Amino acid sequence: MNLILASASPRRSELLVSAGIPFTIRISRVEERHLPGEDAWQYVKRLAEAKARTIESAPGEVVLGADTVVVVDDYILEKPADDADAARMLRLLSGRRHQVITGICLRGASRIVVDSETTEVRFVPLSEAEISDYVKTGEPMDKAGGYAIQGLASKFVDRVEGCYFNVVGLPVALVYQKLKEFERMHG
């Protein structure tokens, strides 16, 4: 069974490589727009499935789509639009707990599995100077919630409850578990 990653995310690729899960990349182009009345879990699962469905696949291939958001007070934070948006997000996260939610979809020839992982993260209080300095690095710009836990923002994270790799961008253990189910059914 061949895994196809429907993502251009370098972090998702790195996580799969680190876990020893072989894959091929086929980039999915899906408009990421939140629908009215849709909660964060519905949103990431819908996008993950849409990404998996847009990729053509051959028999024996399983397509993996994924999408990650950060949620604070039921407010969904995606990738920042610009530096000001990144700073706004970091102010919201400063000294508080938030959830990182990743939806995943595995699509084979005759089966689709959609699931999600939620990780609780707590930030230390951040000063305006810390926020400004971090935003100036450019690191927040392509990250949900405007930060990279595995990068310079690691010093802002006081506590993680749940899957750390989910915060990086892919709940690897969940993906692996679902892949094993596919193999058992089609092995």
142 catalytic per annotation: no
Query: Which tokens belong to 130?
Result: 């810390």
| pLDDT score, position 29 | 87
Tracing tokens 């894959």 back to the chain, one arrives at: 23
Q: What is the reported pLDDT for 67? A: 95
46 phi/psi in degrees, rounded to 5: -60, -45
- pTM of the prediction? 0.94
Helix axis angle, 128-136 to 83-93, nearest 10°:
140
> In the prediction, which pLDDT does 187 show?
53
Q: What is the distance between the alpha carbons of residues 63 and 50, in angstroms, rounded to a whole number?
A: 11
At residue 34, the pLDDT reads 87
Give the C-alpha separation, 8 to 55, whole Å. 13
- Name the catalytic one among 67, 82, 133, 142: 67
- Per-residue pLDDT, 13: 96
Q: Where are the beta strands (DSSP E) in the chain?
A: 2-5, 24-25, 61-72, 75-77, 97-107, 112-123, 157-161
Question: Residue 74 has what pLDDT?
Answer: 85
Question: What is the mean pLDDT of each successive set of 10 residues along the chain, which is 187 residues long?
Answer: 92 96 93 90 97 93 96 93 97 98 94 96 98 97 94 97 97 96 75
Domains annotated on the chain, with CATH: 2-186 (3.90.950.10)
Q: What pLDDT was estimated at residue 167?
A: 97
Give pLDDT, residue 109: 86
How high is the pLDDT of residue 186? 65
